Chains A and B, each alone.
Chain A
């Protein structure tokens, strides 16, 4: 393959980085070019809303790997913005005059972009959003001076930043348009438990609160019902949109995500897509789904690397997520969507909370707060398709104990399937 264009990866986040690294692990010997739109080495985003805001961690501590790692593996890094994909010429085109880069295989790992707040005055906001390392540094510096913070959006990022900021002694108000936190990502039981914990930490929540305007040079959030929240700092965290512009402009199928088959091949057989930007069939879900998580990004990346090397296994992962909210660790495995019944067991303050979601008698999701053993057991049980009887979940039930006799011993030893 030496001498041919090889694999070009657009996007150097979790999925893009992993794909480049896994291609080499899988024995791919051709050229690999990893194109990132941000300066510096590829880095991990999860800490940006968590401990990176609380501790004086250096920006470099977020790097996945040192520069040497890329050099030793002949992974060429480009810091550039891709302007277009020329599918006929099989090359990517840059906007800054960099010569077009040809590819044999193109992997789109373009991620997502923050949804913008579309109300009058939104342009005056100081710390507009949080997605990049640079934005996290701006927010961290601003939090050091701010006495009050208003966060628009009670999703994972909004709640994580709220917990991080309140731990720094900042007065935090969270404004959410929906009736509860964390949207449809978790059960009402888990959302309300977490909200109670964050309220106990001093965070004020306004639900069913639609933002109508931003005023006073970005220091006042005006709500549709006439109320107003004033804060030194306002952060918008109202979710993301998949970065599909490049793919759509190239004529690839997109519908709230770049559409791919179960091997993450787009409607062009030379182009793959992985990570937050993708909507792909997932056997566990039973439908095409777009997920925003580290697990999704890395598992899809590894699958594409193996697939390109001719190792063709079915992709059938069970999603898992985590979210640190101060000292509370929320862990989710499976999918809450479509569950018709949730059973809650325990309490976060007393040994942790586990919420079991069932659909048609089958366990579909397990959400835990500060109960890591149940989370780990759930990952294995869901992968094996084994459900505890909902009637068995009474006080004192332990999913870890259930897993230890319900799972075949090989599964127990080998971990996630």
Chain B
């Protein structure tokens, strides 16, 4: 099963196995703090913001115009490696993906 690693603000690493679910679903389904997913994965609220490890950026699916627009409204600073967790679905090709949880989502 592919793995995704969420790195919390304090450096704690949460390694989760997932296939087919979005990063937001993996985080909220496992009770990982710092990922909210208020709109339920509808690309409406930008509360599942993550910073993707630089090394992993190239293998992510491209951003949709919706995601790009929503990233304008993140609570924490938008960076070049900002993505929305609800728009990234886990698969074998993303095994080992590492994402950092921003300091705030609201």
The interface of chain A, by Cβ under 8 A from chain B, is 44, 46-47, 61-66, 68-69, 72, 294-295, 298, 302, 322, 324, 329, 331, 372-373, 375-377, 379-380, 400, 412-416
Contacts and interface: CB of A to CB of B under 8 A. Distances in A.
A66 B69 contact: no
A415 B28 contact: no
A372 B39 contact: no
A175 B102 CA distance: 47
Nearest to B67: A372
14 contacts: A46-B40, A47-B40, A47-B42, A294-B39, A294-B45, A322-B39, A322-B44, A372-B66, A372-B69, A373-B68, A376-B72, A412-B72, A415-B46, A415-B72
Most buried by A among B28, B39, B73: B73
B74 A415 contact: yes
A44 B38 CA distance: 9
Contacts of A376: 69-70, 72-73
A15 to B, nearest CB: 12
Nearest to A302: B106
- What 8 A-B pairs have minimum CB-CB distances, sorted nearest first? A372-B69, A373-B69, A415-B73, A44-B40, A69-B31, A372-B66, A376-B73, A376-B72
Contact of B65 (A62, A72, A373, A412): A373
B69 A375 contact: yes
Most buried by A among B28, B31, B68, B74: B31
B38 A294 contact: yes
A104 B39 CA distance: 31
Most buried by A among B43, B44, B68, B70: B44
Contact of B29 (A66, A302, A380): A66
A372 B31 contact: no
A65 B75 contact: no
Nearest to A46: B40
B78 interface: yes
Nearest to B64: A372
Contact of A66 (B31, B38, B39): B31
Given A414-B75, A415-B74, A64 B28 contact: yes
Nearest to A320: B44
B77 interface: yes
Given A64-B28, A373-B65, A373-B72, A46 B78 contact: no
Contacts of A380: 72-73
A414 B102 CA distance: 12
Contacts of A46: 39-40, 42
B93 interface: no
A416 B31 contact: no
B12 interface: no
Interface in B4-40: 25, 28-31, 38-40
Given A375-B69, A400-B69, A322 B42 contact: yes
Nearest to A414: B75
A298 B105 CA distance: 13
B78 A413 contact: yes
Interface in B44-83: 44-46, 65-66, 68-70, 72-75, 77-78
Contacts of B40: 44, 46-47, 62
Contacts of B31: 65-66, 68-69, 72
Given A72-B31, A322-B44, A415-B72, 4 more contacts: A47-B40, A62-B40, A324-B42, A415-B46
Contact of B44 (A65, A331, A373): A331
Nearest to A413: B77
Contacts of B69: 372-373, 375-376, 400
Contacts of A373: 65, 68-69, 72
A373 B75 CA distance: 16
Contacts of A331: 44
Given A46-B39, A47-B40, A302-B106, A379 B28 contact: no
Given A66-B31, A322-B42, A416 B66 contact: no
A198 B40 CA distance: 24
Nearest to B78: A413
